Amino acid sequence: MDIKTLLELMFGLLTVASAIWVAFTPKLLHAGFSLLFTFFGVAGLYVMLGADFLAAVQVLVYIGGILVLLLFGILLTTAMPTAELTVGGTRRGQGLALGMLLLGLLLLAVFRAGWPLSMNALPETTASDIGKGFMTTWLLPFEVASILLLGAMLGALHLARRAGEDQ
């Protein structure tokens, strides 16, 4: 087994194992920290697939941004860091059903996909192609995403403003 396959397996294992931990640990904060390794594993997989730009953005946005804010939120809420999430009775059944549904959908997608292999060499730089793609072919989805983010930001500002405050 060559070193590349070994690394791919390692990153894959890291992603799956930590994701399982996120789902099954009752401690919220442990789940949060475990998610760090999931994101890191996914970034590693991106690197192995030659998507260096995507990997860097994955680390920057998910690990450096979203997860920090998530943990920040957990830590700021007094009871949350030590809170234990217990799932009982009927909820368990509903969760199982929903999980199975999602699993089915994913499996369907996996088996339906053709997985075509490209014989082209890996592109030298991915960043410029992605940038050009955003500005030409995929301009509309890009703009829709930015409007969505703008809306989320305005909403957050509105929520953060105390009632009766003018500024």
Partner 1 sequence: MLTLILISLAKVVAILLVIILPLATLLTWVERKQSAVMQDRLGANRADILGLRVWGLFNIIADGIKSFSKEDWVPPFANRFLFNIAPFVGLFAAMVTFAVIPFGPPIHIAGQEIALQVADLNVGFLYILAFGSMGVYSVVLAGWSSNNKYAQLGAMRGISQMISYEVVLGLALVGVVLVHGSVRLPDIVAGQGEHWFGWIPKWGVFTQPLAFLLFLPAAIAETKRVPFDIPEGESEIIGYNLEYSGAKFALFLLGEFIEIVVLSALLATLFFGGWQVPWLADSGFVFGNGATVEMAPLVVTVLRIASFLLKVVFFCWLQLLIRWTLPRFRFDHLLRLGWREMLPLALLNVVVTAFVMLS
User: How far is the C-alpha of 167 from the C-alpha of 78, rounded, in Å?
Assistant: 28
29 counts as binding partner 1 under rule CB under 8 A: yes
Residue count at the site for partner 1 (CB under 8 A)?
A: 25
- Who's near 45: CB < 8 A, 6+ residues apart? 8, 11, 12, 15
157 counts as binding partner 1 under rule CB under 8 A: no
Contacting range for partner 1; rule: CB under 8 A; set: 93-101, 110-118, 124-132, 148-156: 124-132
Contacting range for partner 1; rule: CB under 8 A; set: 8-16, 55-63, 99-107, 112-120: 55-63
Among 10, 14, 48, 57, interactor with partner 1 by CB under 8 A: 57
Contacting range for partner 1; rule: CB under 8 A; set: 29-37, 95-103, 111-119, 133-141: 29-37
Neighbours of 35 (CB within 10 A): 20
C-beta of residue 53 within 8 angstroms of C-beta of residue 130: yes
Among 28, 35, 42, 63, interactor with partner 1 by CB under 8 A: 63
For residue 84 the two structure tokens come to 């234990």
70 counts as binding partner 1 under rule CB under 8 A: no
What is the per-residue burial (b if ≥16 Cβ within 10 Å, else e) of 47-68? bbeebeebbeebbeebbeeebe
C-beta of residue 34 within 8 angstroms of C-beta of residue 22: yes
- Who's near 148: CB < 8 A, 6+ residues apart? none
Give whichever of 1 and 109 is closer to partner 1, judged by the CB atom.
1
Contacting range for partner 1; rule: CB under 8 A; set: 75-83, 88-96, 100-108, 154-162: 75-83
Q: Which residues bind partner 1 (CB under 8 A)?
A: 3, 29, 33, 36, 52-53, 55-57, 59-60, 63-65, 68-69, 71-72, 75-76, 81, 124-127
